[in-house]
Structure 1
């Protein structure tokens, strides 16, 4: 996913002619702590709610109080990974998108980011999650996929997490099967360290089926 696909159709911008009270109202209505300041398509920067709270008078137009603006933006074809980096490193809740001529196109809110990640991770698809620890130098996605597919399953999404002071990494897999016992056993045979799993075992599914049959019997 890229920036132009994530632009919110709901979050408006404000102008320097607006006062702090309007900015706070727009933020509150859209559940963000930052809003873009734009005049005639020219983007000036983001203003935060904290900056407005520090103003001596929030009823005065912004061009008269000269607030400190945050000059952050992305371009239409920037990837969501780059967008996430800007969000995380700057602790912002909205991020403007500018074209190659520096014209303001709109803003990306946290809601759009969450929805995009929801789609990317296949969260709505049924299945289970396996979390493993392994040495960075031993990581091979080809081998991981081969092990999963040898058990008749597919990887729906995969993410890694590493730290600068460690030679190990964490691998999180979303699998299209709820019963992960055979897959985890296969990983353990290849000396993968299973840290956690989130799934329904065959036993749990059998208990659920028996319970549903029992309730159905009582309702006859």
Structure 2
């Protein structure tokens, strides 16, 4: 999934000449804490934060006078993971998209990125989620999928977290196409995969978890 496919066009950028009062109004209207700022030529000149605006000398001060540093952005052909990394590294609620010339193309919100992740992980598909831990020395994705699919289940999506220390286990999250995972869990444990949690085996449980998290992102 490329960034250009997830650009959100309904949330506008600010003009560098806009006053602080107008900028704060747009932040409140669109429920974000950061907005990109563009110049008269349409180039990205910065990203302004709500906290920075609140420190301005007055409501009529121009945004341009508050900008510091180089603007954070991601290119349109980057993967959605790159946008997520930039957002986390810089603690942003929105991240601008700009081309190699600095021309502003749009932005991504946290909600947009989460929605893409949710689609990639098949969260809306019927089925359960298993969380596993496995020794890094024994981890092989092909073997794991083979074990599962030999027991009348299909793997719809996989996500893994690498260990921070060499002695830690790899954490693996699996989305399956079945709700009853009792047999799969038993077989996985037999193959030394430690199943630490199972979600979505009750009707509506997984969808409720996703919806709750989406509501949290929109606060």
- Superposition TM-score tier, normalisation by shorter sequence: 0.7 to 0.9
- Structure 2: 5+ residue stretches without partners: 204-219
Tell me the distance in 1 between the aligned counterparts of 2:7 and 2:140.
35
**Where does 1:69-218 land on structure 2 (aligned, <5 Å)?**
71-165=71-165, 166-200=167-201
Measured after TM superposition, the shift of residue 200 of structure 1 is 2.9
SS of corresponding position for 1:182: helix
Shift of the 148–15 alpha-carbon distance from structure 1 to 2, 3 Å rule, reads same
Runs of 4+ in 1 over 4 A off after TM superposition: none
Aligned 8 A contact 2:163 2:171 in 1: no
Shift of the 91–70 alpha-carbon distance from structure 1 to 2, 3 Å rule, reads farther
SS of corresponding position for 1:116: helix
Normalised by the size of structure 1, how large is the TM-score?
0.86
Tell me the distance in 2 between the aligned counterparts of 1:163 and 1:186.
24
Give the length in aligned residue pairs. 201
Measured after TM superposition, the shift of residue 69 of structure 1 is 5.4
Q: Larger radius of gyration, structure 1 or 2?
A: 1
Shift of the 32–46 alpha-carbon distance from structure 1 to 2, 3 Å rule, reads same
SS of corresponding position for 2:72: coil
For residues 5-45 of structure 1, the C-alpha deviation after alignment (integer angstroms, 9 at most, x for no partner) is 11101110111211011111111111111111102211101
